[in-house]
Every structure is written in C-alpha cells, then in structure tokens.
Amino acid sequence: CRITISDWMRIGKGHAILIEPDGRAVASPVWGTEDCIEAFADLKEVDAQKMWADFPYKENHINKYLERYDVYNLKTVLRGKCTGITSEKIESLLLNVGRIHKQVLLNMMKRDSVGDILGDIEKILIADLPEMDARELRTRLKTAQDTFKKNNNLFEIENVLDQQYYTTLLGFSKRMA
C-alpha cells in the first residue's frame, strides 16, 4: 500500500511523490529503474521540508498541478472567441500559470474560429498520448465540434477538456488498485 501525493501520468519523469508504509519517499515514474521508482528520502529520518528539498523532480511535480489552469485558460480562449469579446479582454482573463505558455494562448486568440482553436488544442492535448488514446481524443473533439456547429454552445467541447483532464488524474488510481 502506498499513499499517493500526486498523479504520474503523462507529465514526465518522477513527477509523483509516493510515500510507502515504511516511510520511504519515492519519485515515480522513473523509467529505467526497478519498479519505475526512485527513493529520495525516508520520513523516519527527515521532515517534509527536507524531503521536498531533496526531491529531484520538482518542476515535473508542480506541472501536474498546473494542468487544471491550462484547462481554465483553454476554456477562456474558447469562450472569448465564441462570445466575440476582444483579445485584450480575453488576455486579461487568462491566469499566468500553467504548462501552456501564454504566447501559445495569445496565438490561439488570433485564430479565425472556434474550430481553428480546437485544432491547436488537439495538437497540445495529443502530444503526450499513446496513438490509441490520441485517436479516441480526436474523435471526441470532432464530435464536440460538430455539436458546437449545430447549436453554437461550447458545453460539449468544455466537457471533453474536463474529461481529458480528469482521465489523467484517475488513471493513476486505477493503476494502483
């Protein structure tokens, strides 16, 4: 049994911190090591502050938490384009956190349509996915875009973005079961 502090899917080497029942803190996944884990601290010997100081994959760990803000920013760009508000107003609503660089979001705002923006979003979302998952996501995005074209409502598109985010979060717990 392990206590999981963060998820490990599709972010990068060692981004999850796992605490084992014996107090050993490990980074996961660390490909190429036994069990894909790397021990980096023992909570019987160090406190949490020292454990964090010794954690070798801080950037990857923090990026996992920032994904939720990426979804927020993508939705903000889509909503802005859909409602016709100015790029300046959309930019003022963006959060300055996340893995997606602000310039990428600003470039999306310059696109002519929600469909064009979805093309950019698709490229971002499928970048780290295995081919089968990428195909499934493309299909879901296409279906959502078709629904949008019929009713001019972003609900289905936003649903796909939320589902994709939460799928990555739930993936780890399923692997642990």
Decide if 164 contacts 125 (C-beta within 8 A). yes
Q: pLDDT under 70 in the chain at which residues?
A: 1-12, 169-177
pLDDT of amino acid 177: 38
- State whether residue 111 is helix, strand or coil: coil
pLDDT of amino acid 142: 96
pLDDT of amino acid 169: 66
pLDDT of amino acid 174: 54
